[in-house]
Structure formats: structure tokens, C-alpha cells
């Protein structure tokens, strides 16, 4: 895999060190410095890992300069809204899109694996009223390792496949029950006659007698196909995103030989942070703070004032230096939903005004601060009547196939080692 070599020279003593340059199929070349400490007695210093490739992967590719995101080689624009979320899960986890028969079999298996052990459901009762669903999801996912404790080594391929599909199937159930438990509403069990995304909305909205009433206002709320399709697309757009903070956490914990469900639970904890998966909640909080279209210019000015601590949420991205390709897809989806669901909420008007003001302002354009996935996902989930505290849990549901694919890839890598970064010590 070596393409060429790269020479590093220590100007203090004139010593030089030569390392292989590795080339992937796409993206920047990588300097292989695995023996650098042994050769030179020094570490490299890269806070936040902004210039460090921590692994080799065949799953997801991002070109941040050209707004490109691909799963297993497929452009995200050719998947979101065009392939079902479960077909995308199959692509990530199995390495290829399923045939029609494989798709039906996969869907059927996921439906029947969606039920939770009653012991896990009783665990919810031990948590306090009002607990955030992310806290409950983390606890319940960790508990899965106690109920399926035989999956520590997974030498058997069938057992390996079962482990991956089980957690994919159960996560919507865990999420919906976590929310209902937090507000004291009776839990709804999965319905095997419903597709993955519809089933989640059903478990979130239904009452024990089977009637469909929205928990927020009691109005009739039959699930519409446009809602299923919209949430399916959102889950697809969240399914994987290369070596982000939570995925790296899953890989790092997986490198210790911990149970796979423990690694996933660790990813849930990492995703909860407001700088990561919790960002869409912050977007909605900020839109409520702005309150009215007439206040938008004031807050845009505050965002541009370097002496003002106010920062516009949902704009810019660590990797995408231009537009976020996921955001472009969600923008189209938002416009479609506004029309098809006859949406005319004040919050959506504020969001549209913020977007228009930022996109027409040279301050934001010069800095590449375009709306990211969090800006649109929060608005769309609100349009779908999803409670704000469920925004990040939905991110978790979407990201499961990515996490489990990354964990699986780590386990199948014969060169993998336990994650163990070093430090620049400056203490006494």
C-alpha cells in the first residue's frame, strides 16, 4: 500500500527519519508513523486529532472541501429518500445493498427482534421520573450486555450477525419506551406488522387501546406515509459519518475487548454532548430564544460581534468547509413537508428567516458557515411532532448501523491494537 516515502528531519541534531506514505482509494495520503516514537523518542502532538488517521476503513468517505459523503461508495444523495433506511443498514453492515428478497428477509427479521426482554423494561422503573431519554437509553443498552453476555468473542459468523441485527432492531423500542417512561405514559410494545420507522412513530404516539393520539395534544394523529418517509431519510442521513467523536469512542472501547453493547452504550454517552448529537436540541432552543422573525437581524448582528458570546447554532461544520451534503437533502425535505403537511408554524418561519439572513450575509459565506444537518433536522423533527428531548435519541437510532459496522471492522482487523494515545506532560 506504500506509495512513496516522507522524510522528517530533526533540526536539533540533523537526524532524519523516513516513513511510508500510504494512499487510500480516496482522500489525503497518510504518513505511517507507527514507529516514530521507537525511532526518535518523540510523540506527535495533535489535540482533537485534526490531522490524525486513527484507522483504516472501507465504510464511509467524506470530502469536506467538496461536500461529499459516501456510504460504501454510494453518494448519500442517491440513498436518502431513494432507498429505505433498512436497505442502507444492510449496505453498511453487510457491505452491499440487498436484493429484493434479502431486503424482505432483513426487514422481517428486524421486526421480530424488536421486542425487549421484560427484565430490561423493568429497569426503566428504577430510573427517576423525568429522566432524559438519553440517560435511560444508555442504561438500557448497557444492560443488553447482561442479557446477551455470550457475545464477548463472537467467533461464530451466525452469532456475529445476530448480535449486530439484534441491537439495530431493539434501539427504536428502547428509545420510544425511554421517552414514554420519562413522562409516565404506558409503554407500547412493537407491532410486527409495521415497518421499522412507522413502528417507532407508533410506539411513540399510540395509547394502549391502539388508538393513535399525539401525546402532546390528544388530537387524532394517524401516521402518514410522508412522515415515515421523512424520518426514514433522516435516519439514513445519520447512519454513519466516518471517525467522529462517538464513532471513535465506540472503536476505542471496542479495542479493549469490551462487550459490543458496552461499546455502543459508550457511543450513546459521547453522542449526547451538545457539541455532537445534542446540537439539534440547541438549535431549537435558540430558535425559541429568537422568538420572532422581526428579531432575526438583531441575533445575526450578535453572532457577527466578536465581543458577544452569542453563537448561531446549526451553522458550520468541523469537516465540511463548504455545504453539508446532508443539510442540502434535508432542506429539500423540509420544503416538501411544509407543503404536504400544511405546516405554518412560527418556529419554522423564524428558522427560514435565520437561514435566509445567514446565506445572504458575506460574513457567514466568507467563513463557510452554511446550515448543517443539525439546523434542518431539528426543524423537521419538530414538524413531525417529535418532542425535543427525543432529537438525540433519534440520532442514536440512525447511527446504530454505522457504529456496529465500525465495531465489526475493528474486530476483523488483524492489526488492531488497544487505543492508547500519549500526552505532552506539563505538570510538576
Residues known to be catalytic? 317, 374
Phi, psi for residue 152 in degrees, rounded to 5 = -80, -35
What is the edge-to-edge ordering of all strands in the sheet holding 30-31? 2-9, 16-22, 30-31
Query: Is residue 141 classed exposed, middle or buried when 0-12, 13-18 and 19+ CB atoms within 10 A define those classes?
Result: buried
Angle, in degrees to the nearest 10, between helices 346-359 and 279-290: 100
Instruction: Give the Cα separation of 285 and 233 in Å (integer).
Output: 23
Phi, psi for residue 392 in degrees, rounded to 5 = -70, -40
Instruction: Give the Cα separation of 87 and 419 in Å (integer).
Output: 32
Q: Which three cell numbers stand for residue 329?
A: 437533502
DSSP strands (E only) in 33-86: 60-63, 68-71, 74-75
The total of other beta-carbon atoms located within 10 Å of residue 32's CB is 16
Instruction: Give the Cα separation of 243 and 241 in Å (integer).
Output: 7
Q: Are 141 and 264 in contact (CB under 8 A)?
A: yes
Q: Are 284 and 378 in contact (CB under 8 A)?
A: yes
- The residue length of the chain stands at 428
Amino acid at each position: 500500500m506504500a506509495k512513496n516515502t516522507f522524510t522528517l528531519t530533526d533540526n536539533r541534531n540533523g537526524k532524519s527519519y523516513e516513513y511510508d506514505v500510504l494512499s487510500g482509494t480516496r482522500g489525503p495520503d497518510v504518513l505511517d508513523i507507527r514507529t516514530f516514537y521507537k525511532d526518535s523518542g518523540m510523540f506527535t502532538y495533535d489535540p482533537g486529532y485534526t490531522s490524525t488517521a486513527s484507522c483504516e476503513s472501507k465504510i464511509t468517505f467524506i470530502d469536506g472541501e467538496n461536500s461529499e459523503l459516501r456510504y460504501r461508495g454510494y453518494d448519500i444523495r442517491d440513498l436518502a429518500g431513494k432507498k429505505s433506511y433498512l436497505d442502507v443498514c444492510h449496505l453498511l453492515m453487510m457491505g452491499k445493498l440487498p436484493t429484493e428478497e434479502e431486503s424482505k428477509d432483513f426487514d422481517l427479521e428486524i421486526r421480530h427482534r424488536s421486542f425487549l426482554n421484560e427484565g430490561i423494561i423493568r429497569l426503566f422503573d428504577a430510573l427517576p421520573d423525568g429522566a432524559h431519554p438519553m440517560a435511560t437509553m444508555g442504561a438500557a443498552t448497557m444492560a443488553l450486555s447482561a442479557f446477551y453476555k455470550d457475545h464477548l468473542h463472537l467467533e461464530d459468523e451466525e452469532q456475529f450477525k445476530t448480535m449486530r441485527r439484534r441491537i439495530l432492531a431493539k434501539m427504536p423500542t428502547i428509545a420510544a419506551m425511554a421517552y414514554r417512561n420519562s413522562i409516565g405514559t404506558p409503554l407500547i410494545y412493537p407491532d410486527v406488522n409495521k415497518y421499522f420507522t412507522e413502528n417507532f412513530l407508533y410506539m411513540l404516539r399510540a395509547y394502549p387501546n391502539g388508538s393513535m393520539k399525539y401525546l402532546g395534544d390528544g388530537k387524532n394523529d394517524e401516521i402518514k406515509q410522508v412522515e415515515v418517509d421523512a424520518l426514514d431519510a433522516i435516519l439514513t442521513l445519520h447512519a454513519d459519518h466516518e471517525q467522529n467523536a462517538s464513532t471513535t469512542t465506540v472503536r476505542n472501547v471496542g479495542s479493549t475487548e469490551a462487550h459490543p453493547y458496552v461499546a455502543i452504550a459508550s457511543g450513546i454517552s459521547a453522542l449526547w454532548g451538545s457539541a455532537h448529537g445534542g446540537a439539534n436540541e440547541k438549535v431549537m432552543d435558540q430558535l425559541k430564544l429568537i422568538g420572532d422573525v422581526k428579531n432575526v437581524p438583531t441575533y445575526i448582528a450578535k453572532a457577527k460581534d466578536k465581543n458577544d458570546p452569542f453563537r448561531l447554532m446549526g451553522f458550520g461544520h468541523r469537516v465540511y468547509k463548504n455545504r453539508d451534503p446532508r443539510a442540502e437533502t434535508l432542506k429539500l425535505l423540509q420544503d416538501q413537508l411544509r407543503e404536504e403537511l400544511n405546516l405554518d408554524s412560527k418556529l419554522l418561519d423564524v428558522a427560514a428567516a435565520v437561514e435566509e439572513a445567514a446565506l445572504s450575509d458575506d460574513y457567514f459565506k466568507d467563513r463557510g458557515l452554511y446550515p448543517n444537518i443539525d439546523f434542518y433536522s431539528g426543524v423537521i423533527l419538530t414538524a413531525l411532532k417529535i418532542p425535543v428531548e427525543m432529537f438525540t435519541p433519534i440520532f442514536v437510532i440512525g447511527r446504530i448501523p454505522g457504529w456496529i459496522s465500525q465495531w465489526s471492522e475493528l474486530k476483523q482487523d488483524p492489526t488492531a491494537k488497544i487505543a492508547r494515545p500519549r500526552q505532552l506532560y506539563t505538570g510538576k
